[in-house]
Amino acid sequence: METDGKRTDGNGTNRKEAERKIASPTFAGILWSFLKLAPISFGGGYAIFPALEKEMIANRGWMDDRELAESLSLAAAAPGGVGVNAAFLIGYRLKGIWGAVAAGIGAIVPTFAIVLGLFLIYQRTGDSPKVRAALGGVTWGIVTLILFAALRIGRSAIHDKFTAGLMLAALACLLAGLPPLYLIVGGALIGIAAAWTRDRKRDDHKPASPMTGRAVGGDTSYMYYI
Dump pLDDT digits (tens) for 165-212. 888 888 888 888 888 778 888 888 887 888 788 777 776 665 555 545
Q: How far apart are CA 61 and CA 63, in angstroms?
A: 6
Asked whether residue 165 falls in the same domain as residue 144, the answer is no
Last residue of a domain, one of 123, 157, 191: 157
Max mean pLDDT among 77-81, 123-127, 153-157, 222-226 falls in 77-81
Asked whether residue 152 falls in the same domain as residue 168, the answer is no
More confident residue, 134 or 213: 134
Residue type, 128: S
Last residue of a domain, one of 138, 157, 176: 157
Q: How far apart are CA 70 and CA 165, in angstroms?
A: 19
Query: Is the predicted pLDDT of residue 105 greater than 90, yes or no?
Result: yes
Distances (CA, A) of 10 to 3, 14, 60: 11, 10, 22
Burial class (CB in 10 A: 0-12, 13-18, 19+), 80: exposed
Asked whether residue 150 falls in the same domain as residue 183, the answer is no
Q: What is the pTM of this model?
A: 0.57
* Average pLDDT, integer, range 214-223: 44
The residue segments making up the domain with residue 170 are 159-226
Asked whether residue 32 falls in the same domain as residue 124, the answer is yes
In sequence order, what are the residues at sequence separation of 6 or more whose Cβ sits closer than 8 angstroms to the Cβ of residue 191? Answer: none
Asked whether residue 141 falls in the same domain as residue 168, the answer is no
Last residue of a domain, one of 157, 185, 207: 157
What is the predicted pLDDT for the residue at 214?
53
More confident residue, 11 or 55: 55
More confident residue, 95 or 198: 95
Query: Is the predicted pLDDT of residue 52 greater than 70, yes or no?
Result: yes
